[in-house]
Amino acid sequence: MLIDLSSELEAALIGLSLPAWELDGSFLARTTMMRYRTELMVTPQFQETVATLRHALTAENGGYAVLRLGNLFTALGNDDDRFLRVSAAFAAEIATPFSPFPRWPLWKDIGVKIGKDPGKSSGIGYNAFHMDLVNAGLPPDYTTLLCVRPDPLGGGPSILSDAHAAVARLSEESRALLAESAYHYGTFFDLFGVGEEYKPFPILDGSGPGRGFVRFTAKMLERSQLGRAHANAARELAEELVKGQVSFMLMPGDYLIVDQRRFLHGREALRSGQETVPESDRRLLLQLFLRARSDESLAA
């Protein structure tokens, strides 16, 4: 769902100067979230926009949203901190922002590296469907991507697919195999706020139809040693995810928020010729993770 800001809200946010955030460990401090909320709740149309955003993420057919912050991004383009504070404030109305990576205090850069594995998030090739931190005991509940620059050559649209809808189209035999702890992928070290390594893990966690994480990354099909039956079941799921995908291009200031319990994400390949684009002009996203709160508000 695409969510535009009213001109009244945009004008108010452009004139607003939120304070620098503070962290509590790897998480955005509660005091910061409370201060942001206090200042923004009196901003015209902010509460209505947040309600629309929450509905897009939680409705029966929802699970993701793109908050269109392009005009705000343009107006505050020379003050990245102000723009990122407003973006973090919107995110904090959904869940608690945090960074699992010591190197990145909150937002993580995802740029383009020509020599990187093409299938990685910073590579230039097709980034197949996956959930972030698939092998963590406590994966982020939400992954968010803020577009600073799209591919100047016109490639790299984002792709999303309803993981539970894809699972529902599989045979009972395949679902049974996906529910077995037979899968593993990636490394695990020096991470904050995501629990211990989960290895091996089931793709389906037994939460029941339409619920729980679908712990899947298509990269496991090529980079993990899997038995034939389990690999075939995972391959069938990958095919169903592609059949059900939606695709769209993120533009500067677009803020994508994805519920990882419902949708998997990826990216089509960037357009050929990336080596001709100066590094400072290549596609750039900023990633922020969110942890669901047990309470529905930040009050006490």
Cis peptide before 200 (omega within 30 of 0): yes
Distant-in-sequence, close-in-space partners of 276: CB < 8 Å, separation ≥ 6: none
CA angle 80, 100, 19 (to 5 degrees): 35
In three-state secondary structure terms, 72 is helix
Q: Quick one: 93 exposed, middle or buried, by C-beta within 10 A (0-12, 13-18, 19+)?
A: buried
What's the token pair of residue 256? 């994508």
pLDDT of residue 127: 95
Longest CA–CA span in the chain (Å) reads 58
Domain extent listing, the chain = 2-290
- Read off the pLDDT of residues 179-222 as tens digits, 9 standing for 90 and up: 999 999 988 888 999 999 999 999 998 777 777 899 999 999 98
pLDDT of residue 300: 40
Distance between CA 97 and CA 59 in Å, rounded? 21
What's the token pair of residue 294? 């047990």
**Residues in the chain with pLDDT values less than 50:** 300
Among residues 249, 253, 225, the alpha carbon closest in space to that of 146 is found at 253
- pTM of this prediction? 0.94
CB 260 within 8 A of CB 140: yes
The whole-angstrom distance between residue 196's C-alpha and the CA centroid of its chain comes to 21
Looking at residue 173, its amino acid is E
- What separation, in Å, do the N-terminal and C-terminal C-alpha atoms of the chain show? 31
Fold category of 2-290 in CATH: Double-stranded beta-helix (3.60.130)
Ramachandran region of residue 170, left (φ > 0), alpha (ψ -120 to 50) or beta?
Answer: beta
